Structure formats: structure tokens, C-alpha cells
A and B are shown apart, each in its own frame.
Chain A
Amino acid sequence: MSKVPFLELEKLRYGRDRASNIIHQLSLNIGQQERIGLVGESGCGKSTLLKLILGVIQAQSGQIHCEGEPIRIKPWRPMNHYRKLVQYIPQDPHTALPPQQTVAKLLSEPVKRLKLGTPNTQVLQRAIEQVELPHAVLTQKASELSGGQAQRVALARALIIKPKFLLADEPTSGLDLPLREQIKGLLHQVCSENHMGLLVVTHDISMVSGLCERMLVMQQGHIIEDRLTEEALRTPNNIYTQRLLEAVPTIHANTWHSPS
């Protein structure tokens, strides 16, 4: 444990007003290249936690350290150093990409703004190859992309910054099953290739078990379970996690003649 964790969250508190707490004195350490799944009911505060870590909203109290250094979060202040380290992919890629911009334009925007060099064709093409899309996509407008394509473009925009850590907010909830599996596979691949950590917020247990070694369960602003995925799935520590696991719609084992 001598190694400094990549992200340290220390007693974060966030609420709409003084009395209600969406996030309640939450502390959490995230290691380098760790892959974590965060599950919970809607309204448990998991998306808010994600936004806090991303620094688009500001906690009322508490502190975030990144690689040992405290991060002063002020939404709409340039924090380019932190931005280069932590990136995100959205829940609904269609609303998360500027609809009127071409893919090339929206991919080059972060390169220019965060001063990562010049966004020449080569850079853009490499980014788009990484998410297994054809080069032709570059000239399309974001609004013309299909759901799966748009999610890949959103991923490409995050990867072009070469972050060390990726946060994903229910990245597959709007997609149908085959596409979900594709995106899951792609996330697995890019995280391994780029030595990237991942925190994925989801209500899809299969996403966690297929992708993440560590699993967090959140309820009413608290983390109530924080263990290795395999253990947590095998012996859930509390009744809530248990219910969450049972609620996952999977086909009954008897249905398959020969499960592969």
C-alpha cells in the first residue's frame, strides 16, 4: 500500500440545500489503472458522485486528491492538468455531442483547447480507428450518427486526450443488447491497451462483472459495499446488494440447452 492511489476522495458532501444530502461524507480511494463498477438504484447519487469527480459540480465540503495533489475544483475554471488526466463518456451520446459539429471538428476541439498539439488528419484518423469506426465518419455531423456510432465517437473524443482514467455514466443504457455487448468489449480493449483506469456507473450487473475487478454499491448517498466483484457477486454483504443482484433480468439457466 505504499503506492499513492490515483484518486483520493475525502469526505465529499453534496446536496441541493443545507439539509438534504445527495452524497454523504463519502471517502474513496481509487488505484492506478483500477477498473471499478458502481451500481445502485436511480436517485442513489451515483451520477452525482461521477460529476463531482469530473469536477463539473463542486462539493460543499471535502477534498479530491489526484496523484497525491489536491485538486481545487471550480466549475468553468481552466483545470487543464486535471482534465488531461480524467475524462468521461456520457450516458446518451446523442445529447452529449454538439449535434451540428462534424466528427472531425468535435474531435479536434479538445486537442486545441487543452493544447495537446495540432489535430491533423493523422491524429484524428488514429482516434477514430481506435474505436473501430471507418474514416468516413469524420466528415459526418454528430446528429447523423447512429446510437452505437455516437457512443464510439464520444469514446474517441475522450481517448484523444490520452487520459489516465475514464469515467463512464451508464454508457450503454440507451442501446440495445448486441450494441451494449460491443461497447462493453471496446471499453475493455481500450482500457487495457492504454493502461487506463475506469469507473463505470451502471445498473447493469453484467457490465460490472464482465469489465471491472472492483464493485461499489451505492444507496442513498453512501457506499454500502466495496469489494472485489467476484466476491461481492458470490456473497453479497447486505440485503440490498442481494436484491439488486436478483433483479437483474437474465434468462433462466434452464432455457439454454448448452450455455457456452
Chain B
Amino acid sequence: MSSNHSASKCVLEVRNLSLSLDQKTLVDNISFSLYEGERVCLIGASGSGKSLTARAINGTVAPYIEVAGDVIVNGLPVARQPVLARRAEARVATVFQDTFSALNPLMSVGKQLSLSTNIQSRDELLALLKQMQLKDAESLLTRLPSELSGGQRQRLCIAFALLSGANLLVADEPTTALDVLSQQQVIKVLRQCCDDHVCSHSEQLHGSPLSLLFITHDISVAAQLCDRAIVMQDGKIVEQGALQDLLNAPQHPYTQRLVQAAQQVFCDTRLPQKKAVNA
């Protein structure tokens, strides 16, 4: 795995990043890197600082939070740069947990999408929605975000993220607020995007594959999408490595608890079916 890294390009590097609020450290000196085409998940309980880390990466961290250390996206240091002030190469596509505020509430989704300079024609737009497995695209485009279901909104947000042509996608608990069926669909779409999508938004990055940073508290959701995991607890990284290794030989007590629970869920769900097979 590590030999792979040295060969491919580093998309995101987080170096000694600390975030604090009123002298209270929320993220404590964390470092990690993400290489081209990688799918990494950032796992932790609520309050572990994983969402805040995501905000520092995509440039939506609140102004009153103190940022120390470096975030380097495609070679550009952007730790304290808000998203609006960033150059195109340093912009990170983001999918948020709260789908409602992630789209403008006063404008139909079709109009919002077509405002993007990266959309040339209506056919292109419809093709994009088809890629998101959104049915009935024509009528969908005329609706306001509030007239859609959570799952539909989240897939539209992914469409928005892809429109940017960025080579890094940060997904901040994109499935937490959804029910299981929509959850499944969103994961499917995300996986497909990572497989198919190549970056288009600048000469320099043209043709590079999409990398994913997936923030979640659910290791079993992460396992469907990611190949590497970073585990956070109380603002620190406590363990990182290939997800497969992590699941089979967790080192840190928190990871062990996490994996044990996932195993229990696995047994609970699959055993009746297994029994059936055995019988």
C-alpha cells in the first residue's frame, strides 16, 4: 500500500492541524495525507472533531475557531482560507449532512444547477441527474429543494459536487440524516462517482481520478465505500490503516469496541440467513 503512495500524487495533506475555541482544543495536532484516487474514511464518535476537521479542509470553518497547522490541497496551503477566497484548484467539493441548507431554498434545483459555468446544455444536466439515479428528472428540475425528499436532495448535492470538477470530495456524514433505503442509494451513487469520475476543472489536474474523504460514525457504512480508515477520538487520531486490517486486528481500545459492535451487528443480521442456508 505504502509503495503505491510514493508513486501517485498527494491530493490532500493535513499537517499538524489543531483547531481550538476559547483555549479549548477541539482537534489536537493531527496529520494525515490522501493520495490520488484513494477513498479514506474518518471515523469517530460525535464530538471527536471529525466534522471540524472536514470544515477546515473545505474552508467552511467558523471564523471564531482558531486554526493552527497546515492544510495543503493540490499543493496549495489553504488552512485559513475560506472556500470563497480559494483558487479553483484548492476548492474541495463537499457533501454536507444537512441537505436542506446545502441548497438555496428560494430557487428551483434546475435553475441552481444551470447557474454553474460547468454546465453547457440542458442535455448535460439531464445526463448528470441520470447518473445520480434520479428518476423523473424533468419535473424534478422545476422543484424547490423543500419539495424533495432527503435522499433526492443529497444526490443533487453530490451532482453539485461533481459539477465543480474537483479531484477531492469531502462527504460529511452524508447518510446520517437519511433512512436506510435512501442511505443505500446515496452510497451507491457515491461509489459509482468514485469509480467513473475524472477531474476536469483545470489543465493541471485534468484526467486525475476523484479521491474521497468520507466522514462517518458508522464503520459498517464506511466499509461499503472506503479502503483506508482514520479513527479519531477526542480530537486525536488514535489509529489509521487499511480498513481490512483495522477490522480484523484493531489495536486501539476504541477501535476494538467499534469493530466488536460491528461484528455483533453482522452476526445479528446474517445469522438467521446463514442458519437458513445451513438448514
Direct contact of A and B (CB under 8 A): yes
Residues of A within 8 A of B (CB): 41-42, 147, 176-178, 180-181, 203, 205-207, 209-210, 229-230, 233-235, 243-244, 246-253, 255-257, 259-260
Q: Size range of the interface on B? A: 35 or more
Give the residues in chain B near A249, CB-CB below 8 Å: 180, 183-184, 187, 218, 220-221, 223-224
The 3 closest A-B pairs by CB, nearest first: A247-B184, A210-B268, A206-B268
Give the residues in chain B near A248, CB-CB below 8 Å: 180, 269
Check: B21 CB closer than 8 A to any chain A CB. Answer: no
Chain B, residues 249-266, CB within 8 Å of chain A (1/0): the string is: 000000001101111111
Report whether A177 and B263 are in contact in the complex, using a CB–CB cutoff of 8 Å.
no
The residue in chain A whose Cβ has the minimal distance to the Cβ of B277 is: A234
Give the residues in chain B near A42, CB-CB below 8 Å: 179
Q: How near does chain A come to B177, taking the closest CB pair, in angstroms?
A: 10
Report whether A210 and B180 are in contact in the complex, using a CB–CB cutoff of 8 Å.
no
Question: Can you offer 28 A-B residue contacts whose CB atoms are under 8 A?
Answer: A41-B179, A41-B181, A176-B45, A177-B261, A178-B258, A178-B260, A178-B261, A181-B260, A181-B264, A203-B179, A206-B266, A206-B268, A206-B269, A209-B268, A210-B264, A234-B273, A243-B181, A244-B181, A248-B180, A248-B269, A249-B180, A249-B183, A249-B187, A249-B221, A250-B269, A251-B266, A256-B263, A260-B267
Residues of B within 8 A of A (CB): 45-46, 179-181, 183-184, 187, 217-221, 223-224, 244, 247-248, 257-258, 260-273, 275-276
Report whether B260 and A234 are in contact in the complex, using a CB–CB cutoff of 8 Å.
no
Cα–Cα distance between A2 and B46 once the two chains are bound (Å): 50
Give the residues in chain B near A210, CB-CB below 8 Å: 264, 268
Cα–Cα distance between A127 and B179 once the two chains are bound (Å): 34
Cα–Cα distance between A253 and B220 once the two chains are bound (Å): 12
Cα–Cα distance between A251 and B265 once the two chains are bound (Å): 9
Report whether A181 and B180 are in contact in the complex, using a CB–CB cutoff of 8 Å.
no
Report whether B272 and A41 are in contact in the complex, using a CB–CB cutoff of 8 Å.
no
Report whether B180 and A177 are in contact in the complex, using a CB–CB cutoff of 8 Å.
no
Which of B179, B263, B275 sits near A260, CB closer than 8 Å?
B263
Which of A206, A209, A230, A256 sits near B248, CB closer than 8 Å?
A256
Cα–Cα distance between A111 and B224 once the two chains are bound (Å): 47
Q: How near does chain B come to A147, taking the closest CB pair, in angstroms?
A: 8
Cα–Cα distance between A46 and B219 once the two chains are bound (Å): 27
Which of B45, B181, B224, B265 sits near A206, CB closer than 8 Å?
B265
Q: A41-B181, A247-B180, A251-B247 are in contact. Are A177 and B272 (CB under 8 A)?
A: no
Q: How near does chain A come to B151, taking the closest CB pair, in angstroms?
A: 10
Cα–Cα distance between A230 and B278 once the two chains are bound (Å): 14
Which of A41, A178, A229, A259 sits near B180, CB closer than 8 Å?
A41
Cα–Cα distance between A203 and B178 once the two chains are bound (Å): 10
| Most chain B beta-carbon neighbours within 10 Å: one of A248, A249, A257 | A249
Cα–Cα distance between A203 and B184 once the two chains are bound (Å): 13
Q: A177-B218, A234-B276 are in contact. Are A247 and B270 (CB under 8 A)?
A: no
Q: A234-B272, A249-B218 are in contact. Are A244 and B180 (CB under 8 A)?
A: yes
Give the residues in chain A near B258, CB-CB below 8 Å: 176-178
Report whether B45 and A209 are in contact in the complex, using a CB–CB cutoff of 8 Å.
no
Give the residues in chain B near A147, CB-CB below 8 Å: 46
